[in-house]
Every structure is written in C-alpha cells, then in structure tokens.
C-alpha cells in the first residue's frame, strides 16, 4: 500500500510539471496571439492541484509530528514507570544482599572461632554442648547447629535472585549501569555466603580470604 505522503509528493511533482507546462502554453498563446482559454485552464488547474498538494503535505506532516510527539510522551511515561519499578526492586535486592552478607559474616566468625578452638584449645571446641578436638568434626557439627542461619542466607539469596530477575525486566537505559552493578554484587555476595556455609582451605587462610571477600562485597554495596 502506497503511503499517503509519497502519493502527495508524486502529485505535487506532477502538478508542478503541469504548472510549468501551463505557463509555457499561456506564454506561447500570448506571443502567437491565439486564444488562451485552454492554456489558462491547464495552468489554473495545475496551480490548484499544486496548492492542494502543498496543503495536503503540510497537514500530513503536522499529523505525523503529532503522532510522533504522542508516542514519545507514552514512551517517556513508560520509562518513568519502569524506572520506578526498577528502583523498588533495586532496594529490595539491596536489603536481601545486606541480610545474606551479614548472616554470612556472623557464621564465618563462628566457623573461624570453632576452627581455632578445635586446634589450639586443650579442651577443644564446644558446639551445641559437645566438645570437639578435631576441626573436621567440629566444623560440620557447627554448620548443623547453625541451620537457621544457613536457611536465612539461602532465603536471602533467593530474594536477591528474584529481585535481580525483576530488575532485568524493568531496566531501561537510565538504570542499565545500576543493573550491572547489582548483578555483580549478587555474584560476590554468593561467593561470600559459600565461604561461610562451605568453609575450605587452611585455618590460617580462611579468615584472610573471607575478610578479603567481605571487603570486596562492602565496596560493591557502597558503590551501587
């Protein structure tokens, strides 16, 4: 289907050519002193079509501008709505990340303390009223006793994932960077959580590695 603006433009060109031809016919008839009625009719009709074509193009363009302006207004309103939804879930994700990281810090402190007691204290480590002198037994026993804390961490991770999924859906060019930073924060918080819930390595390295990761998470959270 031919667009109206193209049709009007073609009509304008034809009318312009016909107007020139009509003007030539009038001029020739005048010079040769012949009747100019037919030439004037051609010229007048061509000029009328030319003016109507100009007017049609103007009206069409005004309509197109109005439609474009309305589309832009709707797009701005939609972006504003999406940005509002994004920042709501952005806040929720931050709360979940803080909960997960905070719980991981508490658990890691207990892991390190229990680990050290099992190695260095004569009486070993006390976990849920029992004594352990072997850290390979003490740490698993501690993790079992801290099941509520681990559940709190995993629940917070689920909340982070849900919020991040919503943020991806709501993100616009205005919030693209915030989404990328949040995605990185979630990834690093999960690493921190894993270090707390599944401790590995040596006693000497564990505390240092956890603190390094904890600092990384804190920096990411502060720079969101």
Confidence check: pLDDT of 7 > 70: no
Average pLDDT over residues 148-169: 96
Quick: pLDDT tens for 138-155.
999 999 999 999 999 999
Q: What are phi and psi of 130, to 5 degrees?
A: -110, 150
What value does the mean pLDDT of the chain take? Answer: 87
> pTM score > 0.75 for this model?
no
Task: Compare 24 and 171 and report the one with higher pLDDT.
Answer: 171
* Structure-block tokens of residue 155: 């629940």
- Measured over the CA atoms of residue 117, residue 123, residue 124 and residue 127, the dihedral's sign is negative
| 13: enclosing H helix or E strand | helix 4-31
Quick: pLDDT tens for 62-78.
878 888 888 888 888 88
At residue 43, the pLDDT reads: 64
Sort residue 124 into left (φ over 0), alpha (ψ -120 to 50) or beta: left
Q: In the chain, pLDDT over 90 holds for what percent of residues?
A: 59
Confidence check: pLDDT of 176 > 80: yes
pLDDT category, 214, cuts 50, 70, 90? Answer: very high
At residue 26, the pLDDT reads: 63
């Amino acid at each position: 289907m031919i667009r109206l603006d193209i049709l009007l433009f073609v009509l304008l060109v034809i009318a312009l050519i016909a107007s020139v031809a009509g003007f030539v016919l009038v001029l020739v008839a005048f010079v040769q002193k012949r009747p100019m009625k037919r030439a004037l009719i051609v010229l007048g009709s061509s000029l009328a079509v030319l003016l109507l074509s100009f007017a049609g193009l103007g009206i069409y363009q005004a309509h197109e501008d109005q439609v474009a302006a309305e589309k832009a207004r709707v797009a701005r309103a939609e972006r504003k709505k999406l940005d509002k939804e994004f920042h709501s879930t952005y806040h929720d994700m931050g709360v979940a990340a803080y909960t997960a990281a905070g719980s991981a810090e508490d658990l890691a402190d207990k892991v390190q303390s229990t680990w050290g007691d099992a190695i260095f204290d004569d009486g070993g480590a006390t976990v849920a009223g029992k004594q352990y002198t072997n850290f390979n037994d003490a740490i698993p026993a501690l993790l079992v006793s801290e099941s509520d804390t681990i559940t709190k961490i995993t629940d917070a991770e689920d909340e982070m994932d849900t919020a991040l999924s919503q943020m991806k859906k709501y993100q616009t060019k205005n919030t693209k960077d915030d989404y990328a930073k949040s995605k990185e924060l979630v990834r690093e918080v999960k690493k921190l959580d894993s270090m707390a819930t599944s401790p590995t390595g040596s006693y000497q390295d564990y505390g240092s590695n956890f603190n390094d990761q904890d600092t990384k998470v804190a920096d990411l959270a502060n720079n969101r």
